[in-house]
A = this chain, B = another copy of it.
């Protein structure tokens, strides 16, 4: 009897070439499929709520997969953490409804981007923040972050996807978009229905342009209107954290 599983994972993305399996570079999907295949003694396909780029960290990514193996779920949890490297941890595993799908059923995601403002970036933070010690108009950035909330066309905030030959909609719903100062860090947190490739990193890069005085809040808002141009810049992946994924249940 096949059981479908749902698991929640945390990982330090520093050493991984992102989620999606690829030839010649270690990826998270491959590593999870490798370990699950050891348990199943047959190939296993793992779906995540979405892909993440190389260097992006996950605090609670959700995945789904099927197993025929009759291993008790608590043992599965333990053996996964025994077999996986320390920079990937399975926080929880449960048996899911047979039609549960980590990607198709995801309703919302929350990402955080961390910018270290102090002149020296502590060595313990170096993989988890963008170090930006130069002057920024932080108050203007905080105000500009609100521009991204709503049902908006993020065409200017998505990496070109060669697979997008059908011209999929670039409209996404952003439930909340907040920037604040916390000690030596600027924290940007965004919750939305879904995000395109590089979208959050491009949104943050444009907030930095506002902070540098290169762009006003109004000019930023105009990038979300036709002609959706020019294309936004993107900040490095290391400061990006997937905090959570929400489902209907």
B124 touches A128 (CB 8 A): yes
Spot the interface stretch: A47-55, A62-70, A82-90, A216-224.
A82-90
A57 to chain B: which residues have CB within 8 Å? 124
Chief secondary structure at chain A's binding surface:
mixed
B81 touches A10 (CB 8 A): no
A10 to chain B: which residues have CB within 8 Å? 122-124
A90 to chain B: which residues have CB within 8 Å? 120
Q: How many residues of A contact B (CB 8 A)?
A: 18
Q: Does A196 contact B (CB under 8 A)?
A: no
State A64–B87 Cα separation when bound (angstroms). Answer: 36
A86 touches B120 (CB 8 A): no
Q: Find the B residue at minimum CB distance from A88.
A: B123
A81 to chain B: which residues have CB within 8 Å? 120
A122 to chain B: which residues have CB within 8 Å? 10, 89
B123 touches A86 (CB 8 A): yes
Copies of this chain: 2
State A88–B12 Cα separation when bound (angstroms). Answer: 20
CB-defined interface of A124-137 with B at 8 Å, one 1/0 digit per residue? 10101000000000
Interface residues of A in 103-138 (CB under 8 A from B): 120-124, 126, 128
Interface residues of A in 14-40 (CB under 8 A from B): none
State A123–B12 Cα separation when bound (angstroms). Answer: 6
Q: Does A148 contact B (CB under 8 A)?
A: no
B120 touches A87 (CB 8 A): no
Q: Does A73 contact B (CB under 8 A)?
A: no
List 22 A–B pairs whose Cβ atoms lie within 8 Å, in order of A's numbering.
A10-B122, A10-B123, A10-B124, A11-B123, A12-B123, A12-B124, A12-B126, A57-B124, A81-B120, A86-B121, A86-B123, A86-B126, A87-B123, A87-B126, A88-B123, A89-B120, A89-B121, A89-B122, A89-B123, A90-B120, A91-B120, A124-B128
